[in-house]
Amino acid sequence: MRSPNRTRASAWHSPLVRDSSLVWLASGIVGVSFGAVTVAGGLPVWVPVVMSLVVYAGSAQFSAVGVLLAGGGPLAAVATGLLLNTRTAAFSLAVAEIIGRGRLARLAGAHLVTDETVAFALAQPDPARRRTAFWVSGLGLFAVWNTGVLAGALAGSALGDTARYGLDAAFPAVLVALVLPTLRTDRAVRRSALLGAALALAVTPAVPAGVPVLLALGGLVLHGYGMKGAAV
């Protein structure tokens, strides 16, 4: 006979896995696109595969490969990837206590910090559920992303121009679905999101791809101001 605690856990685990699976699916599709684009551009199969295992940062990986395929050197590619991935430093602070206190847990958890895993974790109402959400969504996302990259790399140029399939729209669509509930219920978050979006749109014509996302973090300043005002 199942205990009440186990029944309650199962009741919220199922929606978590269901919602995570949508992100996993989008991740796999974009991973296939990344692997195929990289190999079709002339790089060997091992490049996207190893990069996905070691770096594991979708937008940074696309940007770094774009630099390489455009004729840039390895240092320029690395610098671009690091710049675009600096946002995860803020994410790591947000989930530092959620990941766990052990050295191994922190090392593995830091590697799994992404926009999606942080969003799933922080959406939960208590620390235990946040930790579970982080690891369930994070491990699944890592596995599916790397599987998709390997499949795309092996397919190589057989897929042709991956942009015509609209694969690049899968991730943004899922992220919008994830943040909509919070935007509807939290006025401070909504103001910050609008400011961040305005900043990103304003600089998009003038800066490299990926940089507008970093500048959109400026919207957090408005969120902090709103929180101070509410406290007063």
For residue 147, the SS3 value is helix
* pLDDT tens figures, 152-203: 889 876 766 666 666 555 556 655 665 677 677 778 778 888 888 888 888 8
- Tokens 């990344």 — which residue? 34
Predicted local confidence at residue 227, as pLDDT: 44
Give pTM, 2 decimals. Answer: 0.66
Tokens read off for 36: 């195929």
Predicted confidence at residue 8, as pLDDT, reads: 53
Query: How far is it, in rounded angstroms, from Cα 39 to Cα 41?
Result: 5
> Stretch 84-90: mean pLDDT, rounded?
71
**Residue 73 Rama label (left phi>0; alpha psi -120 to 50; beta):** beta
Per-residue model confidence (pLDDT) at position 146:
94
Percent of the chain having pLDDT more than 70? 74
Please report where in the chains the tokens 């490299």 appear, as a residue.
Answer: 208
- pLDDT value of residue 143: 94
For the stretch 106-144, pLDDT in tens is 888 888 888 788 888 887 778 888 888 888 888 999 999
pLDDT digits (tens, 9 = 90+) for 61-76: 877 787 777 676 777 7
Query: Which residue has 């300043």 as its token pair?
Result: 221
